[in-house]
Structure 1
Amino acid sequence: MHFVTGGAFNGKSKWVREQYQLDGQEFTWTSAYKGDEIPVLNGKQIIVLEGIEVWIRQETRSIAADESRETWQSIIRQWLQWESKDQQRKLVLIGSDISKGIVPIATEDRSWRDTTGWVYQDLVSAAERVDVIWYGISQKLK
């Protein structure tokens, strides 16, 4: 699993397309930004899930932050299990960093920000590779 993060509109998607040379390859790209739901993973070699923070926000609106984190930990385990069944499989997760700036006043927004931070920590721990993209430039963290 490869987790890619960085600021909004900093070139994460473009970097992933170039890094994995997706033009001409068979892959699935699912985007929460376009309203897509988290898919059931299939047999494709490369699956890109974009907008992790959007999916987290949807969940934090209906359940408590600690429950949401537990749900995401379960999802991460399922993703790792799917990926481990075939060496050709690669799951690439893209999530915008929402931890910078002023702490939100609204409780719902603070819960989303906190949960996203916790889930990102879990993703970083589980991922074999982690990159931060700022202004189109990558920095490999893991």
Structure 2
Amino acid sequence: MKLIIGGAFQGKKEYVKEKFSLSEEQMTDGKNAEYDDIFHCTCLYHFHEWVKKGLEKEWDFENLAEKIQEKNPDLIVISNELGYGVVPIDAFDRKYRESTGRLCTQLAAKSRQVIRVVCGLGMVIKDA
């Protein structure tokens, strides 16, 4: 598994396409993906939106990193970093922000590679 993180509009998706030679057709949008899609796709971008959808639908995220590692170990996950800035007033938004951060932390622990993209430039922060 590989985790690509960074702020909004920092070029994460384009970086992944170039770095890992992926086409648009090989990439799944987390906004539109269902729970099981993460276990079958090559690359899931907008992971943070997938988490938001999952919270709304009450998906079970327990042991998600382990499940991905078992079922789809070559998955590339792309997620926005949400933990910076002002803490949201809305309770759901706080839960969404926290859940995304905790899940990304778990994915990073199980990932072979973690890359942070800023201004289209990738910085490897883990390469196991």
TM-score (norm 2): 0.85
Instruction: Name the CA distance, whole Å, in 2 between partners of 1:78 and 1:107.
Output: 28
**CA deviation profile, 1:22-44 (whole Å, cap 9, x unmatched):** 25xxx7311024x23241644xx
Aligned to 1:87: none
For 2:69, the aligned partner's letter is L
- Is the CA contact (8 Å cut-off) linking 2:38 and 2:68 kept in structure 1? no
RMSD: 2.0
Aligned to 1:75: 64
**CA deviation profile, 1:63-116 (whole Å, cap 9, x unmatched):** 4xxxx6xx33433222211245xxxxx210001111111110111111111111
How is 1:66-105 mapped onto 2 (pairs within 5 angstroms)?
Answer: 71-83=60-72, 90-105=74-89
- 2:123 paired with 1:139: yes
**Count of residue correspondences:** 124
Stretches of structure 2 lacking an aligned partner (at least 5 in a row): none
Aligned to 2:28: 30
How is 1:98-117 mapped onto 2 (pairs within 5 angstroms)?
Answer: 98-117=82-101
TM-score (norm 1): 0.77
- 2:48 paired with 1:59: no
Deviation at 1:62, TM superposition (A): 4.8
Give the match's secondary structure for 1:125.
helix
Indicate the percent of aligned positions where both proteins have the same amino acid. Answer: 23
Instruction: Name the CA distance, whole Å, in 2 between partners of 1:132 and 1:14.
Output: 13
**4+ residue runs of structure 1 moved beyond 3 angstroms?**
none
Give the match's secondary structure for 1:17.
helix
Instruction: Name the CA distance, whole Å, in 1 between partners of 2:50 and 2:21.
Output: 26
Residues 28 and 41 (structure 1), Cα distance of their counterparts in 2 relative to 1, 3 Å cut: farther
**Larger-Rg structure:** 1
